[in-house]
Amino acid sequence: MKIEYKKIFNKNYVVLTDYNISDYKECYRSKMLKSNQPEFFLPYDTQNINGAIQFTYDISSKQSIESFYENSKMDYETVRHFIFSLKEALDTLNNYLLEPDYLILEPRLIYINITTKNLYFCYCPGEKQNFYDSLNQFLCYMISKIDHEDNNSIILAYSLQQQSMNQNYTFDDLIEILNKPVFEHTSNPIPKEEIEEVPSSMDLSEQIQFEHLKAQAPSANNTLLFSIGILVISIGIAFYLTSIKNVISPLTAGFMIIAAGFLCYFIHNSNSEIEPSCCEKETEPSHIISLSEEETSMAEHSFSSSNVQTEENYYEDTVILGYRNTENAPKLIYTGTDFDSVNDLTRFPFTIGKMAQNVDMVISHPMISRIHSKIYYKENHYYIEDMNSSNGTYINNELIPPHTLTEISPGDHITFSHLTYIFQ
């Protein structure tokens, strides 16, 4: 299936061609969608181009969940909302006697109104896939986007995905999981020694929660057991040498036991200090920017030339990968005179729009879309993508198509609606 985007005046559309039903002709499904425009589905039309049908969907003022959640995570309530929205969409299809196998569950073709959070699905009569196979893939996508610090979302997402792998399951089985309570993560985890095998009486969601708790539970302190073992062996050797062999005196044996005790204490405490706790381990930054050969060489030179450091230099702030020094970062500089705006592009993708909580650069103007554009840095090149904006994105006065990466270079004039910035 080929996906294209086009803009007609202030409307944006996604066009589907090369679908898997090669001999498709207009059918009752298409007529039902056109005449009724059911809720939870993208407004729909078809065009006959040289004998081939094109499916066209109005996506104006909406974002695909793939782009919307590119840099953010899904929480517990979001997962529930998505599944319940899909349930309502399936009920709507049932009311119109439409099969769910034509429902496309690819994240790039599921759209969200970022103000109301309503979901809109794409129903294509020319693309037929097994609904439950598509659903399983969609649930796998949600697992990749959940917040792994939110235990409830982990338990819920994995429970849904595991249920979807069972044979002959129904969507109502997923709804049943949603309606079950999810337990909050306890601040005092149960030691692993107290966690036995998963009870057979547990249902799927409880088993997943149980395994997650077991994985997070602290293990017994192996160094303590090792130290006690050394102490016991030392006492046994001292007793054997004094009472049976008469090789050493009782006083010497006592000193041996005391020395073994100090050794055990040292081993236990040294391991405790060296081994970091799970919460102290560094995590990988969410945005990693690849360094050019020149930057890598400079970094290596800087490292090799700083073997001897003063205490003042040694405790400078740590630089996090994924963020560029603002002195060398590219910039978007507003060219107008009504306000001043200089914006450093220090992370990528770099999002521009008026929805402050979801963008990196806020342009508070009614002609700017909530999420207007994104700038990417790939293989030492910069690209811009129009994110389905109502009033468009222009490069050097030329309108770029939505959802298409277009390379930009220093000195280019980038216009969001009517506000022009210089990229440098």
Instruction: Looking at the structure, tell me whether residues 84 and 14 fall in a common domain.
Output: yes
pTM: 0.66
Tell me which of 104, 131, 158 is where a domain ends. Answer: 131
Instruction: Looking at the structure, tell me whether residues 265 and 345 fall in a common domain.
Output: no
- 87-140 pLDDT, tens digit per residue, is 999 999 999 999 999 999 999 999 999 889 999 999 999 999 999 999 999 999
Instruction: Output the domain CATH number for residue 355.
Output: 2.60.200.20
Please give the torsion angle defined by the CA atoms of residues 357, 358, 362 and 365, in that order, rounded to the nearest 10 degrees.
Answer: -90
Residue 143 lies in a domain: no
Instruction: Looking at the structure, tell me whether residues 262 and 338 fall in a common domain.
Output: no
Domain that holds residue 399: 331-423
Residue 45 lies in a domain: yes
Residue 407 bridge partners (DSSP): 383
Residue 361 lies in a domain: yes
Residue 42 lies in a domain: yes
Residue 356 lies in a domain: yes
Rounded to 5°, angle at Cα 168 from 167 and 170: 120
Instruction: Looking at the structure, tell me whether residues 234 and 348 fall in a common domain.
Output: no
Residue 382: per-residue pLDDT: 97
Residue 362's alpha-carbon distances to 109, 116, 373, 408, in angstroms, are 26, 20, 11, 20
Residue 413 lies in a domain: yes
Residue 205: per-residue pLDDT: 53
E strand or H helix at 325, and its extent? none
Helix, strand, coil fractions of the chain, as percent rounded to 5: 40, 20, 45
Instruction: Looking at the structure, tell me whether residues 250 and 362 fall in a common domain.
Output: no
Residue 123 lies in a domain: yes
d(CA 343, CA 59): 29
Q: Could you write out the DSSP letters of every residue in 197-253? A: SPPTT--HHHHHHHHHHHHHSPPP-HHHHHHHHHHHHHHHHHHIIIIIS--S-HHHH
**Number of structural domains found in the chain:** 3
SS3 state at 164: helix
- Tokens encoding 27: 């059918």
Instruction: Looking at the structure, tell me whether residues 43 and 120 fall in a common domain.
Output: yes
Cβ atoms of 373 and 363 within 8 Å: the answer is no
pLDDT in single tens digits along all 424 residues of the chain: 999 999 888 889 999 999 999 889 889 999 999 999 899 999 999 998 888 899 999 999 899 999 999 888 999 999 999 999 999 999 999 999 999 999 999 999 999 998 899 999 999 999 999 999 999 999 999 999 998 888 888 999 999 999 998 888 999 999 999 988 764 444 444 444 444 444 444 555 555 555 555 555 444 455 566 666 666 676 767 666 666 656 667 666 666 667 766 666 666 565 554 444 333 344 343 333 344 444 444 444 443 433 434 434 433 443 444 444 556 789 999 999 888 999 999 999 999 999 998 899 999 999 999 999 999 999 999 999 999 999 999 999 999 999 999 999 999 999 999 999 999 9
Residue 325 lies in a domain: no
d(CA 169, CA 74): 25
pLDDT averaged over the chain? Answer: 79
Q: Could you write out the DSSP letters of every residue in 63-111? A: EEHHHHTSSS-B-HHHHHHHHHHHHHHHHHHHHTT--GGGEE--GGG-E
Please give the torsion angle defined by the CA atoms of residues 255, 257, 260 and 264, in that order, rounded to the nearest 10 degrees.
Answer: -130
